[in-house]
């Protein structure tokens, strides 16, 4: 179980997240939804200890997550990756296991339909192929927790299906998956729970419980704290 307690985070002179608390259980896939600038990427980075200004606690099975960082795989948002960096598909995937050559790298490349592309530079791939490369790196890492930042952005229908199939299999095998997304369709319906975020956690529940006009209006409002929380069912609120 991953437990996040009162996580606040931001950048120098720019507080972003305030007091976010939630849990993530094995076999759970939780969606992170909110407007541009809500702090979804900031939350994923803060969890992983990638930001300088963080307070709060993050535990994985009763031990601080930062002491067992290798158990978490992170797939950053596309815009955070330097696609001109001179590295091949296979080299990226190998980074998941400390740069080693391993049969698992080749089998994972094959599983994700990337074997024939393994000697190509990552910058020479399509968006869907690039996203599959980073998913392959995460799989090779053998992590228990997967944090994915907008994995379906810029991918075609084939890559989308491959990614969804892998996530389903990971979940069945006991992984904990946290995924930020602007895709509200079928993808969101596959989530066990959805967290609505706008600098603070607005609501958590099943997609049916939280993807309602009222919750969404509040989440996407310029000033979400002005919403009348008393009118809502308490269990959904954080
Ligand atoms: N490196 C940084 N330095 C300063 N401010 C930043 C930095 N990165 C992000 N921010 C700011 O933090 C806020 C939250 O950004 P974040 O990227 O976490 O939002 P997001 O919910 O992931 O948005 P999107 O859906 O557009 O990806 C924004 O106001 C953004 O401008």
- Average pLDDT, whole number, for the chain? 90
Residue 139, in any domain of the structure: no
Distance 38 CA to ligand 1 centre (A): 7
Q: Judge if the beta carbon of residue 80 lies within 6 A of ligand 1.
A: no
Residue nearest to atom 25 of ligand 1 (CA): 36
pLDDT tens-place values along the chain, 238 residues long:
999 999 999 998 899 999 999 999 999 999 999 999 999 999 999 999 999 778 999 999 999 999 999 999 999 998 889 999 999 999 999 999 988 888 999 999 999 999 999 999 999 999 899 999 999 999 999 999 999 999 999 888 888 899 999 999 999 999 999 999 999 888 999 999 999 999 999 999 999 999 999 999 999 987 665 344 344 443 455 4
**Cα separations in angstroms, 193 against 121, 140, 205, 216:** 37, 26, 5, 15
Q: According to the model, what pLDDT value does residue 223 have?
A: 66
Residue 94, in any domain of the structure: no
How many independent structural domains does the chain possess?
1
Q: Judge if the beta carbon of residue 143 lies within 6 A of ligand 1.
A: no
Percent of the chain at pLDDT exceeding 70: 93
Rounded to whole angstroms, how far apart are CA atoms 75 and 15?
23
Q: Are 95 and 137 in contact (CB under 8 A)?
A: yes
Q: Are 112 and 166 in contact (CB under 8 A)?
A: yes
Q: According to the model, what pLDDT value does residue 221 have?
A: 85
Residue 98, in any domain of the structure: no
Residue 215, in any domain of the structure: yes
Residue 197, in any domain of the structure: yes
Residue 104, in any domain of the structure: no
Q: Give the helix, strand, coil percentages of the chain, each rounded to 5.
A: 40, 25, 30
CATH of the domain at 186: 3.40.50.300
Residue 23, in any domain of the structure: yes
Q: Judge if the beta carbon of residue 11 lies within 6 A of ligand 1.
A: yes
Q: Judge if the beta carbon of residue 7 lies within 6 A of ligand 1.
A: no
Q: Judge if the beta carbon of residue 38 lies within 6 A of ligand 1.
A: yes
Q: What is the ipTM of this complex?
A: 0.97
**Cα separations in angstroms, 227 against 216, 220, 224, 234:** 11, 11, 6, 14
- Sequence-ordered list of residues with C-beta below 8 angstroms from that of 222, at least 6 positions apart, any chain: none
Range of the domain at 16: 2-80+145-228
């Amino acid at each position: 179980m991953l437990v996040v307690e009162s996580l606040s985070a931001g950048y120098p002179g720019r507080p972003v997240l305030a007091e976010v608390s939630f849990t993530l259980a094995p076999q759970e896939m939780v969606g992170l939804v909110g407007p541009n600038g809500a702090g979804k990427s900031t939350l994923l980075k803060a969890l992983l200890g990638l930001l300088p200004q963080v307070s709060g606690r993050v535990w994985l099975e009763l031990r601080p997550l930062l002491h067992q960082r290798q158990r978490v795989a992170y797939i950053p948002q596309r815009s955070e990756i330097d696609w001109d960096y001179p590295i091949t598909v296979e080299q990226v995937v190998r980074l998941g296991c400390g740069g080693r050559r391993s049969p698992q790298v080749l089998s994972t490349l094959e599983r994700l339909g990337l074997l024939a592309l393994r000697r190509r530079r990552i910058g020479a791939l399509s968006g869907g192929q690039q996203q599959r490369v980073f998913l392959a790196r995460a799989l090779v890492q053998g992590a228990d927790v997967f944090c994915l930042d907008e994995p379906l952005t810029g991918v075609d229908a084939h890559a989308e299906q491959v990614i969804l199939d892998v996530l389903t299999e990971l979940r069945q095998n006991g992984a904990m998956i946290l995924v930020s997304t602007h895709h509200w369709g079928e993808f969101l319906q596959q989530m066990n729970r959805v967290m609505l975020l706008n600098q603070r956690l607005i609501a958590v529940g099943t997609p049916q419980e939280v993807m309602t006009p009222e919750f969404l209006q509040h989440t996407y409002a310029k000033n979400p704290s002005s919403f009348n929380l008393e009118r809502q069912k308490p269990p959904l609120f954080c």
